[in-house]
Amino acid sequence: MNLAVIATVAPLIFLAELPDKTALASLVLGTRYRASYVFSGAAAAFTLHVVLAVAVGALLGLLPHRALEAVVGALFLFGAVLLLRGRDDDESHGKQRDAAGFWRVSAMSFVIILVAEFGDLTQILTANLAAKYRDPFSVGLGSVIGLWAVAGLAILGGQGLLRVVPMKWVIRAAATVMLVLSVVSLVGAIRG
């Protein structure tokens, strides 16, 4: 274990992940469900991604870009539709937060983050850093620290956001952002 590598990788991954779609997904999930439930699923998904990135390394760059963009675009579109079809009122939000169990929320968070993060910049960056430093454990640990920090900030930010912004505005804003990301991804898939 090399502390210098960990200290280099963690902030790089943190900064690369901060403006990412998975941070948005974590924020939205954090507004709807218990933070600890969401974080457990997100943390597990990020850990799996880091393990894959470190293990597979440069092979991630060989994934067909167009197909990946099309899948990501379709998933964002699906997520936006689900958000807009849900009930907006704060009363139903409270019931949803209380009724959703740990395994359901954690599994849902895991799948959403797993799919959204696949082939993402931070996964490719992690693979490149693992190849550069030839220290998969230190790179992996630094990457996990950076990713978990972003997820935690986004989830807690979602919790705090509800104190000042009505839930229906959060849902509409998130759905709009997801629609834009869907269009960008689908255009990227078409253009190649």
Give the structural domain span for 152: 3-64+90-165
- pLDDT score recorded for residue 65: 67
- pLDDT score recorded for residue 89: 46
Does residue 187 sit within a domain? no
Q: How far apart are CA 43 and CA 29, in angstroms?
A: 13
Does residue 189 sit within a domain? no
* Number of structural domains found in the chain: 1
**Which stretches of the chain score pLDDT less than 50?**
58, 60-61, 87-95, 98
Q: How far apart are CA 177 and CA 171, in angstroms?
A: 10
Does residue 106 sit within a domain? yes
pTM: 0.67
- pLDDT score recorded for residue 82: 65
Which pair of structure tokens corresponds to residue 99? Answer: 């009724």
3-state SS, the chain, equals: CCHHHHHHHHHHHHHHHCCCHHHHHHHHHHHHCCHHHHHHHHHHHHHHHHHHHHHHHHHHHHCCHHHHHHHHHHHHHHHHHHHHHCCCCHHHHHHHHHHCCHHHHHHHHHHHHHHHHCCCHHHHHHHHHHHHHCCHHHHHHHHHHHHHHHHHHHHHHHHHHCCCCCHHHHHHHHHHHHHHHHHHHHHHHHHC
Does residue 129 sit within a domain? yes
